[in-house]
Structure 1
Amino acid sequence: MSTESSASTDRTRRIRRQSRGFRRAVVATLGILGLATTGLAVAGAFRGPHLADASVASATALERAGQRLVLQADQAIDPVDAADVSVTPDVPIEVSSEERTITVRFTGMLRTLTDYTVTVAVSGAATGVDGTLSYAFTTPDLDIAVLVRDLDGPDEVRGRTVSGDEATTLFAADRIQEFALLRDGVAAVVLDESGANGRLMIAPDGAQVTEEITLPGPGRLQQLRASDTTDRLGVLFTSADSDATDARLSQLLLIDRLDPSGVAHPVTGLDGEAISVLDWRFVPGTPYLVVQAFDHSMLLIDTAATDAVPVPLGEHAELRGFLPGTLQLVVADPLSGSTIDLETGESAPLELPDDQLDETAYPGKVVALGGDSYLEVASRPAPGEGFVLDYEILLVSREGVEVLYDPDAGIPIRDICLSPNAQYVAVEVQDPEGEPDGYPNVSGRTLSTTYFVDLASGEANRAIAGFAASWCS
């Protein structure tokens, strides 16, 4: 055998050995990768559900009850109910689930500037492995605006948050009668020099020029309100034309800010004619409104549908607003009160507990908190010379009567109303040193102040100078 042949044979053998070694290495590597992949698959198969995404409209969480938190798991889960969900601090909830989605509906009102944690016990639908989904969010502060009258200069609408320290001027003009907060600014009724006629002005945030809404003619404007859901506002208009057949009738003009024509349209009744309106309210969280005609009949009207037929709600002496966080309309009659559920149309007596006032006390404004409790402004003659009244706010419930807020002696309480989340009571008080402003329709006094009284604790350590709080519209 030649040397060349022997060398060739050796190379062949080395190549074969290297090839067998390479194959063994590849097989080993693939085996390891296969085991790793199998391990990962097994681990994944026995891992409980995790939170993949969550969403809550925290910016509007304080406006009304019924806000929703939507949680998304990273895998399909077994059905979940309220017993599987805990909320800290405690809030009443309703829960529904489907595949990977859990919806938590807060049926109670949320408090401002509060850290809420929602924890859900879940189980994987395919694996049966338990897991926990947890999500935390913080509620925002509440906005409020008030009107400040100045006998020597322009009036101002000032706004701030409840916990804030400084108010910002949102709108200023001579002789502001009333205002309403919009999503993007302020609407206001501004009087002429005589005070007989009003103009409806809109001042968008940051705009240098205000917009004036075209009205049917000169006349008196009252009860300006804005929807918290739609870009609509309404105002009662009474024509100044003494020759007109409807000179003493107040029509409700509705303005849709998304309508480029900028025309105010009267709200019509069952006969298709403009309603003569005594009182009205937007229904919170909906495109509806409720009107009370001069004959005391009430109608529920859908502002989003031009061809919708109004729904009669019966005849009642007084329209008092809504129970906090609900669609329960509160109405009053000479001998009783009741609620009307605007979702079902059902009416129920509102039998509130006795306020236990003695014969020396004068009952005032009542704000219902629910079917068994309410706030009431009460006053009684103060000791000493002259006729001076002492005021207080009573919290009346089935458990009894307690004084929620008691200002200094001789300080009148002009008005009260609840914050959108029913956490605070806006209490408008008037300094006896203030002067009447002489406005013809919505009068006030200088040196008025609005306090924020915590309904749970009675604390009243925050306030803003001004009156006619935006919460009260």
Structure 2
Amino acid sequence: IGGGPEANLSTTFTTPPAGVLALERDPDGDDRIVSRTIGGSDATPVFTAENIDDFRATSAYLVASIVDEETMRVIVVDRASGEQADAALPGPGTVLGLQVSERGQLYGFTFTDQDVSAESGRKNVLFTGSLAGAFDHAEPDPVVVGGEEPSIDRWRFVPETSSLLLNDFSGDLTLVDRTDPEGEVSSFGTALSIEGVARSTYTALIDRIEEGFVELDLATGEQQVVSTADLGGERLLGHMIPLADGGTLRSYALLEEGIPTTSDVVIVDPEGEAREVASTSDGEALQQVCASPSVQYIAVAVSPIAGNAYGGQVQTLPQEIETRIYDADTGDLVEAWPGFDISWCEVGPW
């Protein structure tokens, strides 16, 4: 209980510029992962190697798969100290599908033995491990489902949980708790692919065989069909990324006589209303789209179609790629940088 004159208190604060990491490949020299900020100065290299195939990053670590002569390595970098460590691999082979989880600072990848055959060897087996553990030579663990190590096509860390969402080559869609030694799973039927799991939610965007794209609640198993968007003309859906507010980030290619031409990148709200963010020009190919964690910015990776040779990495892309950053509200072009595979994305563009 009190009294006295009333007063209005106010304060102001400024958030730091949005930052992002990107991969720049160089056919004539070392590849590099660089750090950039919106409205900032030149790129700052944070990791270089002769052949970088892929990378992902958390707030504390960066993990990169590199091709070293005829073998692949996975290197973990402490972003604060710059210290590097080789992550233990199951053996010589191919590493794909590199991903990280902020919760627990984890990393994962699918692994195929170098000498795999129809009769023996591992093919696309999923391994996960601790990023900090790489500095103590801890080995990543294979993901076990029903006592076996399945071959995984698509997968995702489920944000803020210890679970993994898996889609194997038979189409089975399962949720696995990586801390459960028995490998108990929750089955969600079959799917063509996993498009993503929205940040700060327990909702996955799934491509079903019959229903098409659906939002799947991983806690209850309930799902609802994703609303369609009418952009006019004959369109082909390319990308669809879930957003935390229930909307989606999508790309649509305009078809002329059945042939894809230019592409439009749009944000579609939960009611199906579309807002255009960006578009490509004639002679450009859209490689990837993704949103910054706050969805303040949209990243669009494009490459020229003509005279743009593919690189020689395990996961190849055209040598010349540009990533354009757009304001998600206004659609204004904010930045245009060389490189791709930026750290805002859950996975690479392959």
Aligned residues: 340
Residue in 1 that maps onto 2:263: 391
2:2 to 37, 46, 65: 46
Q: Is the 8 A contact 1:177 1:439 kept in 2?
A: no
Q: Cα–Cα, structure 1 residues 141 and 305, in superposed 2: closer, same or farther, change >3 Å? A: farther
Q: Cα–Cα, structure 1 residues 432 and 199, in superposed 2: closer, same or farther, change >3 Å? A: same
Q: Is the 8 A contact 2:206 2:214 kept in 1?
A: yes
By percentage of residues, which structure has more helix?
Answer: 1
Give the residue type in structure 1 aligned to 2:106.
R
Residue in 1 that maps onto 2:331: 458
Distance in 1 (alpha carbons) for counterparts of 2:3 and 2:130: 53
Give the residue type in structure 2 aligned to 1:326.
T
Distance in 2 (alpha carbons) for counterparts of 1:464 and 1:132: 44
Alpha-carbon distance, 1:465 to partner: 1.5
2:306 aligned with 1:350? no
2:34 aligned with 1:161? no
Q: Cα–Cα, structure 1 residues 311 and 139, in superposed 2: closer, same or farther, change >3 Å? A: farther
Residue in 2 that maps onto 1:377: 252
Distance in 2 (alpha carbons) for counterparts of 1:422 and 1:222: 27
Residue in 1 that maps onto 2:302: 429
Q: TM-score, normalised by structure 1?
A: 0.64
Distance in 1 (alpha carbons) for counterparts of 2:202 and 2:35: 27
Q: Is the 8 A contact 2:285 2:303 kept in 1?
A: yes
Distance in 2 (alpha carbons) for counterparts of 1:316 and 1:207: 42
Deviations 1:4-28 (A, max 9, x none): xxxxxxxxxxxxxxxxxxxxxxxxx
Residue in 1 that maps onto 2:143: 267
Q: TM-score, normalised by structure 2?
A: 0.85
Distance in 2 (alpha carbons) for counterparts of 1:220 and 1:143: 30
Alpha-carbon distance, 1:251 to partner: 0.7
Alpha-carbon distance, 1:154 to partner: 0.6
Distance in 2 (alpha carbons) for counterparts of 1:380 and 1:388: 4
Residue in 2 that maps onto 1:441: 314
Please give the secondary structure, in 2, of the residue aligned with 1:236: strand
Alpha-carbon distance, 1:341 to partner: 1.9
2:177 to 295, 302, 314: 302
Alpha-carbon distance, 1:395 to partner: 4.1
Deviations 1:270-324 (A, max 9, x none): x232232111111123332212122222222333454673333332221111235
2:99 aligned with 1:221? no
Q: Cα–Cα, structure 1 residues 130 and 317, in superposed 2: closer, same or farther, change >3 Å? A: farther
1:291 to 145, 148, 166: 166
Q: Cα–Cα, structure 1 residues 133 and 312, in superposed 2: closer, same or farther, change >3 Å? A: farther
2:160 aligned with 1:204? no
Residue in 2 that maps onto 1:413: 286
Root mean square deviation, CA, Å? 3.0
Q: Which runs of 5+ in 2 are unaligned?
A: none
Q: Cα–Cα, structure 1 residues 186 and 374, in superposed 2: closer, same or farther, change >3 Å? A: closer
2:347 aligned with 1:471? no
Distance in 1 (alpha carbons) for counterparts of 2:63 and 2:131: 11
Distance in 1 (alpha carbons) for counterparts of 2:59 and 2:247: 34
Q: Is the 8 A contact 1:375 1:396 kept in 2?
A: yes
Percent identical across equivalent pairs?
26
Alpha-carbon distance, 1:263 to partner: 0.7
Alpha-carbon distance, 1:389 to partner: 2.9
Q: Is the 8 A contact 1:154 1:175 kept in 2?
A: yes
Alpha-carbon distance, 1:172 to partner: 0.5
Residue in 1 that maps onto 2:15: 139
1:320 to 176, 179, 195: 195
Distance in 2 (alpha carbons) for counterparts of 1:415 and 1:396: 17
Alpha-carbon distance, 1:399 to partner: 6.6
Q: Is the 8 A contact 1:236 1:277 kept in 2?
A: yes
2:104 to 226, 230, 233: 230
Q: Is the 8 A contact 1:324 1:422 kept in 2?
A: no
Alpha-carbon distance, 1:240 to partner: 1.4
Give the residue type in structure 2 aligned to 1:443.
T
Deviations 1:137-189 (A, max 9, x none): 54333321111110100101111223322211111101111001133342111
Q: Is the 8 A contact 1:351 1:371 kept in 2?
A: no
Give the residue type in structure 1 aligned to 2:165.
V
Select the structure with the greater relative contact order (CA < 8 A; seq sep ≥ 6).
2
Give the residue type in structure 2 aligned to 1:316.
A
Q: Is the 8 A contact 1:177 1:188 kept in 2?
A: yes
Please give the secondary structure, in 1, of the residue aligned with 2:344: helix
Q: Which runs of 5+ in 1 are unaligned?
A: 1-44, 49-128
Q: Is the 8 A contact 1:324 1:421 kept in 2?
A: no
Alpha-carbon distance, 1:135 to partner: 6.7
Deviations 1:380-426 (A, max 9, x none): 459xxxx8932322444557555321233322221111211222211
Alpha-carbon distance, 1:351 to partner: 3.3
Please give the secondary structure, in 1, of the residue aligned with 2:289: strand
Q: Is the 8 A contact 1:436 1:443 kept in 2?
A: no
Q: Cα–Cα, structure 1 residues 396 and 164, in superposed 2: closer, same or farther, change >3 Å? A: same
Q: Is the 8 A contact 2:309 2:319 kept in 1?
A: yes
Distance in 2 (alpha carbons) for counterparts of 1:191 and 1:217: 14
Alpha-carbon distance, 1:235 to partner: 0.7
